[in-house]
Amino acid sequence: MNNKTILKQAESLSASDCYEKIKSQVKKLISKEEAVLLDKTFLIFNDDENSQFVATASFDQSFYEFNEDYQHQIKFNVATNTDYSYTFIHEFSHIICSHYNIECTHNLEFAIINYCLRNKVFNNSIQCYFRAYDVHQDKSYPILSINPCQFDAFIKCIKWDTLQELVNESKRLAKIIRQKSIN
């Protein structure tokens, strides 16, 4: 076994540990019924130095067919070096969006869900949430007018106890932000 292989294995173990820790923290924030969504989400690895993504989320469409054997996946690229915690919350957010029939792109609803999860998992310790990448696929992106400082304060004020509440808030607030950008 060469050094590169050993490093990749160590990277995979470290990522797996972080994944389980983040998954456990998110599960503490949601109901037992909603936690099944995360229990059915598994981490797999690839090693693609040419990939443009650190990780991707795959939502198993058989969930909608009431198939009990569905499995969602988060594919993590061990060829990258990044903060696993934020990456896994980001990918869990994609799975949540798919589960609740939100367009699974980088849009306002996704960003709100992603940042609210991060805010709760890290106990309000993050000072800066907003990243343009997280909304760049929103249909109204060209006209969005978002003050990142206000957006961060706004995220910290959102209260939710279940994923359904968070999803409903993300839809409601995204609609308001879009309307204010148009006016």
Q: Tens digits of per-residue pLDDT, 36-86?
A: 888 888 887 777 666 667 777 877 777 666 667 777 887 776 666 667 888
> Looking at the structure, do residues 31 and 65 belong to the same domain, yes or no?
yes
Domain of residue 40, CATH code:
3.30.2010
Structural domains in the chain (count): 2
User: Do residues 91 and 118 both lie within one domain?
Assistant: no
Residues 152-165: what's their mean pLDDT? 91
73 and 116 assigned to the same domain: no
- Tell me what pLDDT residue 78 has: 66
Range of the domain at 111: 105-183
How far is residue 31 from each of residues 3, 80, 93, 96, 168, measured CA to CA in Å? 43, 33, 16, 14, 16
10 Å CB burial of residue 180 (0-12, 13-18, 19+) is: exposed
Whether residue 4 is found in the same domain as residue 83: yes
Identify whether residues 84 and 146 lie together within a single domain: no
Residues 89 and 1 occupy one common structural domain? yes
pLDDT in tens, 92-137: 999 999 999 998 899 999 999 999 999 999 887 777 777 787 888 8
Residues 10 and 29 in one domain: yes
pLDDT in tens, 84-104: 888 889 999 999 999 999 988
For position 167, what pLDDT does the model report? 97
Residues 90 and 116 in one domain: no
Q: Are residues 85 and 142 in the same domain?
A: no
Residues 74 and 111 in one domain: no
Q: Which of 83, 99, 115 is the last residue of a domain?
A: 99
Query: Taking residues 147-158, what's their average pLDDT?
Result: 83
Q: Do residue 141 and residue 75 come from a single domain?
A: no
Where among 99, 119, 152 does a domain terminate?
99
Res 170 pLDDT > 90: yes
**Domain closes at, from 64, 99, 134:** 99
pLDDT, tens digit, for every residue of 3-32?
Answer: 555 555 656 677 888 888 989 999 999 999
| Edge-to-edge strands, sheet with 41-46 | 41-46, 72-77, 55-58
Rounded to whole angstroms, the Cα distance separating 104 from 40 reads: 18
Same domain? For 92 and 114 the reply is no
